[in-house]
């Protein structure tokens, strides 16, 4: 029997469930590999672990589509993954960009995947498996009604019901989910049991879908089940403190520290919510980690109560004993180690509140074009030490900002065109108008000629800018440039721009 078929095989009419002899008859020369469900599951788990690292703290293995176990607690047959991407899109522009990234990366690894995003796990699964064509980056994003319409057009099989139920529904003429949704509920339940309507409600979000998040066995974790579901912030914070303490003890035994923590909240209604906290440096300082997690509690809706919490060190790194010792000092130590850790704690606190991309340091880049001369690096990344040499380039070959040429403290995001009155091509203008104010140039320095970078683009080869620092009567200093050398039209538009403000 065929267990699975790839896309070319499906085009030949081969489908799972077909006896192998029939298949060989239809397609002589068929390449057949022995099914290995255990290896499939293992591969899927590796993928799930990768998704956990890259995309979302909540990933689950999806029960297979073909067989259908009637319920959703079936054994995974190894061909689907679910991700809860709620609030996980900060590294991407949108959820759909995340999806495109995921499918693209899978494709690059030789895995063809069908994927969809929907408001509920059941709907997303149905769309991913049964949508007639892949939904990629709809514009504008799918409204809930549009999602309903798509869902209603899918075959009933997309609800993953038991085969006998599907047969029965087909005999009664139910073809699509929409048909089922429009039918009175009572008779349907009498005839087919609760399963069809339960799946329908799960897809529509009327009831929650119980999930079993995938937790890689090798992750350090601490879990706790509560006899009574808890929901108050105080109780949750207390539980967090207990869990971080246990997690840190386990990390200490491994000589490791956490770089990322995932805290999963299992609600009694089966919903799972997650809080993900990143750390700039590996840490296993329980009170500090607990504080970071507790700060994120406001994003968690306890609903009817939380019955279980799992804390995972989703990423861990070896933590040097010296670092650990400094951590125990609480960052208040007098030596440098303590100070660095104090800053790491601050960066974590700010990054988790504002988003990690909002914290950075500036590093010199080997470029004379002012707007390209600054690179953003991580807040704790080692900076190539800039040794400003008078020539502009660092002596040791490291990039450095020019020390001899003045640079404005405020650089406009885009140079703004200005109206100028000037005399000679080699001189700065005598007067210029910027943002509606006319300023008379009293003093000026320049030009500093900056050439286009031919290695960046063909068009830049001949271009240049002549920068002048000019001062108006009131002492305001501005950074002006003329695009071009004043003569040759190939060197630029010969227009004047204001690019920055000194003081």
- Is 370 a binder of other proteins (CB under 8 A)? yes
- In angstroms, the CA 368 to CA 370 distance is 6
- In angstroms, the CA 469 to CA 479 distance is 5
- In angstroms, the CA 221 to CA 381 distance is 28
Is there a contact between 495 and 415 (Cβ–Cβ < 8 Å)? no
Q: Which CB sits closer to other proteins, 56 or 373?
A: 373
Backbone angles phi and psi of 71, in degrees to 5: -110, -170
b/e per residue 194-214 (b: at least 16 CB within 10 A):
ebbbbbbbbbbbebbbbbebb
Taking residue 263's Cβ as centre, other Cβ atoms within 10 Å add up to 28
Closest approach, Cβ 436 to other proteins, in A, equals 5
Q: Which stretch binds other proteins (CB under 8 A): 60-68, 203-211, 224-232, 494-502?
A: 494-502
Q: How many residues in the shown chain lie near other proteins by CB under 8 A?
A: 67
Residue that the structure tokens 């989703």 belong to: 314
Of these, 275, 441, 464, 480, which contacts other proteins (CB under 8 A)?
Answer: 441
Among positions 381-440, residues that touch other proteins (CB under 8 A) are 383, 385-386, 388, 401-403, 406-413, 423-424, 427-428, 430, 435-437
Closest approach, Cβ 443 to other proteins, in A, equals 5
- Is 80 a binder of other proteins (CB under 8 A)? no
Closest approach, Cβ 145 to other proteins, in A, equals 33
- Is 35 a binder of other proteins (CB under 8 A)? no
Backbone angles phi and psi of 21, in degrees to 5: -60, -45
Of these, 476, 483, 494, 495, which contacts other proteins (CB under 8 A)?
Answer: 476
- Is 356 a binder of other proteins (CB under 8 A)? no
Of these, 339, 368, 483, 494, which contacts other proteins (CB under 8 A)?
Answer: 339
- Is 113 a binder of other proteins (CB under 8 A)? no
Question: What letter would DSSP give residue 314?
Answer: E
- In angstroms, the CA 264 to CA 384 distance is 39
The alpha carbon dihedral of 201, 206, 207, 213 has a sign of: positive
Q: Which stretch binds other proteins (CB under 8 A): 7-15, 129-137, 159-167, 334-342?
A: 334-342
Residues 6+ positions from 234 with CB-CB distance below 8 Å:
none
Closest approach, Cβ 387 to other proteins, in A, equals 10
- Is 49 a binder of other proteins (CB under 8 A)? no
Q: Which CB sits closer to other proteins, 212 or 443?
A: 443
How would DSSP label each residue in 402-424? -SSS---SEEEEEEEE-EEE-S-
Of these, 26, 320, 358, 372, which contacts other proteins (CB under 8 A)?
Answer: 358
Closest approach, Cβ 437 to other proteins, in A, equals 6
Residue in 132, 64, 138, 65 with CA at minimum distance from that of residue 100: 138
Footprint on this chain of other proteins (rule: CB under 8 A): 331-332, 338-343, 345-347, 349-350, 353-354, 358-364, 370, 373-374, 379, 383, 385-386, 388, 401-403, 406-413, 423-424, 427-428, 430, 435-437, 441-445, 469-471, 473-478, 500-503
């Amino acid at each position: 029997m065929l267990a699975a078929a790839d896309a070319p095989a499906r085009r030949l009419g081969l489908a799972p469930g077909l006896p192998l002899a029939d298949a060989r008859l239809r397609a002589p020369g068929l390449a057949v590999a022995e099914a290995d469900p255990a290896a499939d599951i293992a591969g899927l788990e590796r993928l799930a672990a990768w998704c956990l690292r890259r995309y979302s703290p909540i990933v689950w293995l999806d029960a297979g589509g073909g067989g259908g176990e009637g319920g959703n607690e079936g054994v995974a047959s190894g061909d689907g993954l679910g991700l809860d991407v709620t609030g996980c899109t900060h590294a991407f522009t949108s959820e759909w960009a995340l999806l495109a990234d995921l499918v693209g990366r899978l494709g690059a690894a030789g895995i063809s995947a069908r994927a969809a995003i929907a408001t509920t796990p059941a709907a997303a699964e149905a769309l991913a498996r049964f949508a007639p064509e892949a939904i990629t980056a709809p514009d504008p994003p799918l409204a809930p009604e549009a999602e309903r319409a798509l869902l209603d057009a899918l075959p009933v099989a997309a609800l993953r019901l038991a085969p006998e139920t599907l047969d029965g529904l087909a005999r009664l003429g139910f073809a699509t989910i929409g048909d089922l949704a429009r039918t009175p509920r009572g008779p349907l339940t009498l005839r087919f049991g609760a399963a069809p309507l339960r799946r329908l409600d799960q897809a529509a979000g009327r009831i929650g879908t119980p999930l079993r998040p995938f937790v890689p066995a090798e992750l350090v974790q601490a879990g706790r089940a509560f006899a009574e579901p808890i929901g108050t912030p105080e109780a949750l914070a207390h539980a967090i403190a207990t869990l971080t303490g246990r997690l840190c003890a386990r990390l200490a035994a491994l000589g490791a520290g956490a770089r990322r923590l995932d805290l999963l909240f299992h609600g009694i209604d089966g919903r799972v919510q997650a809080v993900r906290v990143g750390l700039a440096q590996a840490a296993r300082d329980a009170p500090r980690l607990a504080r970071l997690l507790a700060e994120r509690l406001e994003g968690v809706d306890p609903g009817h109560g939380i019955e279980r919490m799992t804390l995972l060190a989703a990423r861990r790194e070896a933590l040097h004993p010296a670092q650990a010792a400094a951590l125990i000092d609480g960052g208040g130590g007098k030596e440098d180690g303590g100070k660095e850790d104090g800053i790491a704690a601050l960066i974590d606190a700010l990054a988790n509140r504002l988003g990690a991309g909002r914290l950075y340091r500036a590093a010199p880049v080997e470029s004379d074009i002012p707007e390209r001369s600054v690179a953003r690096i991580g807040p704790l990344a080692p900076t190539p030490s800039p040794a400003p040499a008078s020539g502009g380039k660092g002596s040791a070959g490291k990039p450095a900002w020019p020390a001899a040429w003045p640079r404005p403290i405020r650089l406009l995001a885009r140079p703004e065109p200005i109206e100028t009155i000037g005399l000679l091509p080699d001189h700065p203008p005598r007067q210029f108008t910027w943002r509606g104010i006319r300023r008379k140039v009293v003093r000026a320095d320049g030009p500093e000629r900056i050439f286009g970078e031919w290695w960046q683009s063909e068009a830049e080869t001949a271009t240049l800018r002549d920068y002048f620092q000019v001062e108006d009567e009131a002492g305001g200093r501005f950074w002006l440039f003329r695009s071009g050398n004043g003569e040759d039209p190939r060197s630029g538009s010969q227009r004047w721009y204001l690019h920055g403000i000194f003081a």
